[in-house]
Amino acid sequence: MEMLNDLSYQVIGCAMEVYRTLGPGLLETVYEKALIHELKLKGIPVRSQVEVEVNYKGVNIGDGLRLDLLVDDKLIVELKSVEELKPVHHKQLKTYLKLTNRRLGLLINFNVSDIMDGVKRVINGYGEG
């Protein structure tokens, strides 16, 4: 888990840099592209819009379900640009963690006056490391 914590701190640092540079109030897609660029500048591997397979009783029904970012194939990052994070946003990330068997995710809302108020860690009780 320590390696995941280090990775999450690096991602949060990159999100802080994006926020300092762009500020609040833009579209989620703008923040996604900027964060991808910032992560790549730091040499951190990242994939965007990663398809999630949803298997229901042996049938893949995950049509169109995608993670915003998968960092170093370990950390799920869901980005928002909303007035406030709702419980459904946390539940969505928790479900993504469960479906992908990942342990840690970050929910980052860029539409805040202080970016640290918009960063939430979500932990899955089981999964990769």
CA distance 99 to 94: 9
Q: Which residues contact 87 (CB under 8 A, 6 or more apart)?
A: none
Identify whether the C-beta of residue 66 lies closer than 8 Å to the C-beta of residue 52. yes
Tokens of 57: 């009783």
Q: Which residues contact 39 (CB under 8 A, 6 or more apart)?
A: 11, 14, 45, 46, 69, 71
Query: Mean pLDDT throughout 52-72?
Result: 89
Confidence (pTM)? 0.91
Identify whether the C-beta of residue 4 lies closer than 8 Å to the C-beta of residue 103. yes
CA distance 92 to 114: 23
Residue 11 has pLDDT above 70, yes or no: yes
Tokens of 25: 């109030």
Residue 95 has pLDDT above 70, yes or no: yes
The domains of the chain, with CATH numbers, are 2-123 (3.40.1350)
pLDDT at residue number 127: 45
More confident: 2 or 19: 19
* pLDDT single digits (tens) 100-127: 999 999 999 999 999 999 999 999 975 4
Query: Mean pLDDT throughout 66-87?
Result: 96
Residue 32 has pLDDT above 60, yes or no: yes
Query: Mean pLDDT throughout 68-96?
Result: 96
